[in-house]
């Protein structure tokens, strides 16, 4: 199946027969075509590290920048990281079957001491080249896919799931990349990063093409944009959800954070920007005619009208100033999910789908209501218990605001904050919890290498009043909140969503908020609580 893209280009859909999907590893193509090192060296100005002979005829069938992911026949890209130089892992990569090494001058120096036994090629800046080289090796798989990208502080995962759901409802085969999982057709594996590293991303796209995927939907994090991880991918349709303070430890200030997010639109043919906040309005003003503004109030190119909220979600109309419109619904709660759903629908319409076609397809698929693990996921109804990934101030404010109108009793929240990052948001999150909920339990999130008690103290610094308690153990905090709640109450367990591992001082502990909630509800049902 192929369809016209916004620029009139047509692309091949599905498997062209050159590469097959790997049956055991959905993230990699099974048999990429071999490439001679001499050809790669010519195309990317790579120099051999030594005078050795015969290197140019050595063939490689893929590239990996992590020895733990190397497969036989691949090129190992060894570059400097924040912690270690990848060249240290060359012996392990070669043992795993790497047939050659690509590194920088520092790496070549490290390797000079002992012959790695495979050809070594050198380039000044490996990360700057890696995406392009990997795309070349795998035959530019991104060009064979319809490509949708979502960025923004909050709502990327939810919106990406909604775009994916809409495309599937239209009968298309999709690939999904994001914080929760990576999915190739019908096979899903848990994700490690929101946006994969360059070599892994291109291998994944090749696996998607091999699997017969039509469209790629992916979340693009600000880190990925700042670090050039998605280079040289060009997106057909980009989407921007919103921007509020987060990741300032990495980007320095909001301006730098905005610039990283905005750069997605430099590598996209068309786009839709939610222009409800000042950053969205600025982005819409700074991008060209191919990027439309969407507002949930009046003023945008796309506007949302006729919102009818009920106990489960909201119905709404999405209309363009050119007359196109559709009516649909989402069963995900809260006004912010109307914005996410409207953005998802507008992105799909921007790719060239007719409104009536999408409206019909969504009507047959329950609207824009995909199951998004750990995003406003309701696990019990008396009391209502909701697990949500809200881990920054705005997300917490929105999640509590979404639950308040449908809570007949009291609203309780369990929150924490992660260690080693963004200290400034801790008291703000404490304040947002006190402002939005009736009672607050402050507990641990992922302390990483920071003392957990200090993190809790910084969250508590933003809180006041007797309705705030500190319970360090997260499972106990969740159990306490669920057992103490009245039947008409709502308990929001915020911050970790789908996550299943809590990292304390370098040690991973299994911890899944949803399991803890289910266990507490079972305890409550068994009448074993006071």
Ligand X SMILES: Nc1ncnc2c1ncn2[C@@H]1O[C@H](COP(=O)(O)OP(=O)(O)OP(=O)(O)O)[C@@H](O)[C@H]1O
Ligand Y SMILES: CC(=O)N[C@H]1[C@@H](OP(=O)(O)OP(=O)(O)OC[C@H]2O[C@@H](n3ccc(=O)[nH]c3=O)[C@H](O)[C@@H]2O)O[C@H](CO)[C@@H](O)[C@@H]1O[C@H](C)C(=O)N[C@@H](C)C(=O)N[C@H](CCC(=O)O)C(=O)O
Binding residues for ATP: 152-158
Q: Which residues define the annotated binding site? A: 152-158, 194-195, 221, 229
Q: Would you say 242 or 295 has its CB closer to ligand X?
A: 242
Under rule CB under 6 A, how many of the chain's residues touch ligand X? 23
3-state secondary structure string, 43-96? HHCCEECCCCCCHHHCEECCEECCHHHCCCCCEEEECECCCCEHHHHHHHHHHC
Q: Would you say 123 or 194 has its CB closer to ligand X?
A: 194
* C-alpha–C-alpha distance, residues 236 and 216, integer Å: 10
Helix, strand or coil, per DSSP, at residue 435: helix
Mask for 338-357, x = binds ligand X (CB under 6 A): -xx-----------------
Q: Would you say 55 or 76 has its CB closer to ligand Y?
A: 76
Nearest-10 crossing angle of helices 393-403, 335-350: 110
Contact window for ligand Y (CB under 6 A) among 59-67, 366-374, 407-415, 433-441 = 59-67
139 binds, among ligand X, ligand Y, none (CB under 5 to 8 A by kind): none
Buried residues in 223-245 as b, exposed as e (16+ CB within 10 A): ebbbbbbbbbbebbbbbbbbbbb
In the window 387-416, what residues touch ligand X (CB under 6 A)? 388-390, 394-395, 398-399
Q: How does DSSP classify residue 31? A: -
Q: Would you say 67 or 202 has its CB closer to ligand Y?
A: 67
Contact window for ligand Y (CB under 6 A) among 60-68, 282-290, 395-403, 452-460 = 60-68
Question: What residues form DSSP beta bridges with 297?
Answer: none
Task: Quickly count helices (H) and strands (E) in the chain.
Answer: 17, 26
* C-alpha–C-alpha distance, residues 76 and 53, integer Å: 19
Q: Would you say 10 or 68 has its CB closer to ligand Y?
A: 68
Mask for 497-526, x = binds ligand X (CB under 6 A): x-----------------------------
Burial class (CB in 10 A: 0-12, 13-18, 19+), 9: exposed
Which tokens in the block code for residue 304? 């949302």
Report, in Å, the least distance between residue 494 CB and ligand X: 7
In the window 191-220, what residues touch ligand Y (CB under 6 A)? 193-195, 197
390 binds, among ligand X, ligand Y, none (CB under 5 to 8 A by kind): ligand X
The answer to whether residues 403 and 501 touch, using CB atoms and an 8 Å cutoff, is no
Mask for 227-256, x = binds ligand Y (CB under 6 A): x-----------------------------
Q: Would you say 12 or 188 has its CB closer to ligand Y?
A: 188
Report, in Å, the least distance between residue 471 CB and ligand X: 22
Find the residue with minimal CB distance to ligand Y. Answer: 81
User: How many residues are recorded in the chain?
Assistant: 530
User: In 404-493, which ranges are continuous DSSP H helix?
Assistant: 425-436, 452-460, 474-484
- Kindly tell me which residue out of 375, 431, 496, 524 binds ligand X, with binding defined by CB under 6 A: 375
Closest to 326 (Cα-Cα) out of 342, 313, 309: 342
Question: What residues form DSSP beta bridges with 103?
Answer: 78, 122
3-state secondary structure string, 112-162? HCCCCCCCEEECCCHHHHHHHHHHHHCCCHHHHCEEEEEECCCCHHHHHHH
In the window 176-215, what residues touch ligand X (CB under 6 A)? 179, 194
Q: Would you say 64 or 242 has its CB closer to ligand X?
A: 242
520 binds, among ligand X, ligand Y, none (CB under 5 to 8 A by kind): none
Question: What residues form DSSP beta bridges with 4?
Answer: 10
Q: Would you say 69 or 452 has its CB closer to ligand Y?
A: 69
Q: What is the CA radius of gyration of the chain?
A: 24
Pairing relation of β-strands 59-60 and 35-36? antiparallel
In the window 448-507, what residues touch ligand X (CB under 6 A)? 497
* C-alpha–C-alpha distance, residues 130 and 369, integer Å: 37
In the window 110-169, what residues touch ligand X (CB under 6 A)? 152, 154-158
**How many Cβ atoms are within 10 Å of 354's Cβ, its own excluded?**
11
Helix, strand or coil, per DSSP, at residue 361: helix
The answer to whether residues 308 and 276 touch, using CB atoms and an 8 Å cutoff, is no
Report, in Å, the least distance between residue 444 CB and ligand Y: 19
Q: Would you say 120 or 274 has its CB closer to ligand X?
A: 274
Phi and psi at residue 90, to the nearest 5°: -60, -45
Contact window for ligand Y (CB under 6 A) among 52-60, 66-74, 423-431, 478-486 = 66-74
Mask for 77-96, x = binds ligand Y (CB under 6 A): --x-xxxx-x--x-------
Mask for 491-510, x = binds ligand Y (CB under 6 A): --------------------
Report, in Å, the least distance between residue 104 CB and ligand X: 30
* C-alpha–C-alpha distance, residues 166 and 351, integer Å: 12
Q: Would you say 191 or 348 has its CB closer to ligand Y?
A: 191
Contact window for ligand Y (CB under 6 A) among 189-197, 260-268, 367-375, 404-412 = 189-197
Residues that bind ligand Y (CB under 6 A): 65-68, 79, 81-84, 86, 89, 193-195, 197, 221, 223-224, 227
Interface ranges with ligand X (CB under 6 A): 152, 154-158, 179, 194, 219, 241-242, 336, 339-340, 375, 388-390, 394-395, 398-399, 497
């Amino acid at each position: 199946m192929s369809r016209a893209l916004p620029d009139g280009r047509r692309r091949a859909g599905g498997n062209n027969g050159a590469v097959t999907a790997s049956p055991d590893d959905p993230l990699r193509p099974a048999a990429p075509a071999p490439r001679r090192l001499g050809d790669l060296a010519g195309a990317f100005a790579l120099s051999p590290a030594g005078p050795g002979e015969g290197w140019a005829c050595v063939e490689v069938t893929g590239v990996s920048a992590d020895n733990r992911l190397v497969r036989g026949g691949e090129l190992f890209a060894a570059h400097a990281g924040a912690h270690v130089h990848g060249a240290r892992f060359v012996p392990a990569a070669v043992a795993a079957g790497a047939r050659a090494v690509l590194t920088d001058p520092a790496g070549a120096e490290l390797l000079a001491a002992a012959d790695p036994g495979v050809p070594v090629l050198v380039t000044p800046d490996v990360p700057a080249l890696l995406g392009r080289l990997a795309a070349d090796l795998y035959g530019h798989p991104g060009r064979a896919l319809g490509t949708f990208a979502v960025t923004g502080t909050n709502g990327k995962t939810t919106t990406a799931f909604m775009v994916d759901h809409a495309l599937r409802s239209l009968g298309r085969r999709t690939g999904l990349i994001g914080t929760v999982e990576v999915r190739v057709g019908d096979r899903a594996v848990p994700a490690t990063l929101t946006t994969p590293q360059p070599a892994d991303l291109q291998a994944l796209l090749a696996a998607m093409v091999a699997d017969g995927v039509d469209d790629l939907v992916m979340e693009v994090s600000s880190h990925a944009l700042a670090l050039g991880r998605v280079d040289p991918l060009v997106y057909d349709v980009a989407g921007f959800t919103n921007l509020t303070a987060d990741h300032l430890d990495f980007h320095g200030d909001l301006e730098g954070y905005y610039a990283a997010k905005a750069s997605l639109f430099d590598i996209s043919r068309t786009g839709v920007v939610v222009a409800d906040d000042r950053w969205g309005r600025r982005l819409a003003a700074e991008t060209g005619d191919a990027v439309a503004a969407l507002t949930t109030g009046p003023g945008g190119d796309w506007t949302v009208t006729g919102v009818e909220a009920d106990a489960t979600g909201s119905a709404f109309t999405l209309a363009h100033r050119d007359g196109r419109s559709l009516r649909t619904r989402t069963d995900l709660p809260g006004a912010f999910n109307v914005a996410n759903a409207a953005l998802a629908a507008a992105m799909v319409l921007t790719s060239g789908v007719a409104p009536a076609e999408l409206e019909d397809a969504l009507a047959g698929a329950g609207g824009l209501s995909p199951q998004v693990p750990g995003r406003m996921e309701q696990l019990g109804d008396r009391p209502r218990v909701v697990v949500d990934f809200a881990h920054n101030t705005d997300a917490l404010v929105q999640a509590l605001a979404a639950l308040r109108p449908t809570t007949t009793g009291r609203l309780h929240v369990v929150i924490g904050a992660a260690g080693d990052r963004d200290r400034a948001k801790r008291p703000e999150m404490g304040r947002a919890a006190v402002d939005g909920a009736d009672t607050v339990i402050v507990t641990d999130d992922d302390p990483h290498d920071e003392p957990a008690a200090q993190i809790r103290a910084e969250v508590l610094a933003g809180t006041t009043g007797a309705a705030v308690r500190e319970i360090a153990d997260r499972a106990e905090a969740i159990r306490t909140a669920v057992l103490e709640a009245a039947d008409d109450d709502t308990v929001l367990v915020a911050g970790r969503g789908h996550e299943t591992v809590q990292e304390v001082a370098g040690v991973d502990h299994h911890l899944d908020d949803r399991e803890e909630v289910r266990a507490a509800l079972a305890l409550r049902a068994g009448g074993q609580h006071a």
